[in-house]
Amino acid sequence: MVPIADATEQFLGFLSIISGEGAILWDALEDRPVGNTAELLRKGSLNPDARIPLPAFEQLVGQQATVESGIIAYNAQLMLQSMGLGGWLYGGIDANALLGAHQNQGVSGMGFRFKQVPHSPLANPVGLDGYFETLSPPYCSGAEEIVARFIERKFGSGGAYNTSTGTYRHAGAVHSQIQRYDEATIRYFVSVVERLLETYNRVPGTLPTVHTSVYLQAQHVDIDYYEQFHDQNALLDTHREHMSIWHAEAP
């Protein structure tokens, strides 16, 4: 199992959080905001004294993508335990090689598309055509489409905050109270994405577009090994009963 995150979507999700709190994404090297903040400053939506440096912000994006991937893998590992399977949670793999950065050298990996970006010796993974297409060129035409599709993923058909779906008894009433982005905020998001695309040719600017770091491998447990070298608490009953329950018809 290879949990994979769209870092562009993660970036926009966190941008919406910090801007909702009034913080400005700041380019410390050029001592100016990332994107056009003038309209939101006039409205009082942003605080000119609340500045988050771009590198620190993108570090947070990468950390959260790693944490969420780890939670996915850990939850799957717990599921394997309940099924009576072993689950090995690990890292340490060259993510670019795994995704397919060295296809022209015979290491096919998972076949992801890569693009060369400025200021980096490493190509950037942007997606797997037809299967995992990120909010990034070439799957989006530019900043406006990136932001529009991000909003669609949240509030559109099938989105987590769509008023016609959800687990609440009255999901429509609950989800309708969730604040939507006004046009000024959307224009600000677009300006941030435009700036990063112009500067780094990707969003986030300093992180791979496709993020992966934690992996899970499932396998049958060698019961005889554990009975010989470990005490009885090393295995669950689900492990001992797995073959009889799940493979009763196997020869």
Domain residues of the chain, as ranges?
Answer: 5-219, 221-251
The whole-number pLDDT of residue 122 equals 85
pLDDT, mean over the chain: 92
Report the SS3 class of residue 105.
Answer: helix
pTM here is 0.89
In this predicted structure, the answer to whether residue 225 has a pLDDT above a threshold of 90 is yes
Exposure b/e, 70-100, CB count within 10 A at least 16 = b: bebbeeebeebeeebbbbeeeeeeebbebbb
Contact call for residues 100 and 112 (beta carbons, < 8 A): yes
Contact call for residues 216 and 73 (beta carbons, < 8 A): yes
List, for residues 10-34, the tens digit of each pLDDT value.
999 999 999 999 999 999 889 999 9
In this predicted structure, the answer to whether residue 234 has a pLDDT above a threshold of 80 is yes
The whole-number pLDDT of residue 60 equals 95
List, for residues 57-98, the tens digit of each pLDDT value.
999 999 999 999 999 999 999 999 999 999 999 998 999 999
Rounded to whole angstroms, the Cα distance separating 36 from 38 reads: 6
The total of other beta-carbon atoms located within 10 Å of residue 128's CB is: 17
The total of other beta-carbon atoms located within 10 Å of residue 178's CB is: 12
